[in-house]
Amino acid sequence: MTPIDWTKYDAVLFDLDGVITPTAIVHERAWAKMFNAYLATRTEVAAPYVDADYFAYIDGKPRYDGVRDFLASRDIELPLGTPQDAPSELTICGLGNRKNEVFNEVLSDEGVDAYPGSIQLLDHLAGLHVPLAIVSSSKNAPAVLRAAGLTQRFRTIVDGQVAVQFQIPGKPAPDMFQHAARALGVSDRRSVVVEDAVSGVQAGAAGDFARVVGVDRGAGHDVLMRAGADLVVTDLRELVP
């Protein structure tokens, strides 16, 4: 692979989960803690939540869909409720909101460490004074960055909360990345997108960005290339000259 000459670009726009931090681990622990606490309160016996349930019913889905599909696997029916439901309410949305609370508890108690190779690339770009942004669909992105001690590394954060506030279409639309480039005061054509998810790579490819780098954390090299990546690496240290 030909090394990237980062001096040719004005900004780098990173996804967070799976690119900078292995946040999926925190999500998995939070789901397990929330569901098993809920199941313990039921009079009917149901099989406990196990690690395989995350991949079978939850991974890659919107939060409330994951709650619904896991409960269905245990023959449990709850009303949908609304996104405004309190975490104590026994609705699908209530449990989903409870999971978000537990996520923040686990994150606070256990923290999260960035991938070492990602830190190497961030260090290299800092030495070149290249502006950096986080572009994440998650509303937890600021909390994750604080827990990892990385907040000051990025000049702007465009996350799920910003997307709602400014009514920005989510990935695979390119709008969140475009918003980040504008916030940094740079053009899309001079910005590099770094993503691990198919929808994120598609978002980068849908815009007029200089390069789209795929990070293969399990999606597959060929899948990310077909989604529109210009090159695919397995670790960001490969992008350090």
AA letter at 193: V
**Tokens describing residue 88:** 């104590």
Residue 152's Cβ-count burial label (10 Å; 0-12, 13-18, 19+) is: exposed
Catalytic site includes residue 17: yes
Question: Which of the residues 17, 159, 188, 216 is marked catalytic?
Answer: 17
Q: Do 168 and 179 touch, CB atoms closer than 8 A? A: yes
The SS3 assignment for 231 reads strand
Q: What angle do CA 190, 193, 199 make, to 5 degrees?
A: 140
In angstroms, what CA-CA distances link 65 with 60, 92, 93, 111, 172?
Answer: 10, 8, 9, 26, 19
For the CA atoms of 77, 81, 83, 86, what is the dihedral angle to 10 degrees?
-90
Q: What share of the chain is helix, strand, coil (3-state, %, to 5)?
A: 50, 10, 40
Q: Do 140 and 150 touch, CB atoms closer than 8 A? A: no
Catalytic site includes residue 222: no
Question: Which of the residues 10, 15, 113, 196 is marked catalytic?
Answer: 15
Tell me how far apart the alpha carbons of residues 123 and 146 are, in angstroms, rounded to a whole number. 17
Residue 76's Cβ-count burial label (10 Å; 0-12, 13-18, 19+) is: middle
Mind telling me the catalytic residues?
Answer: 15, 17
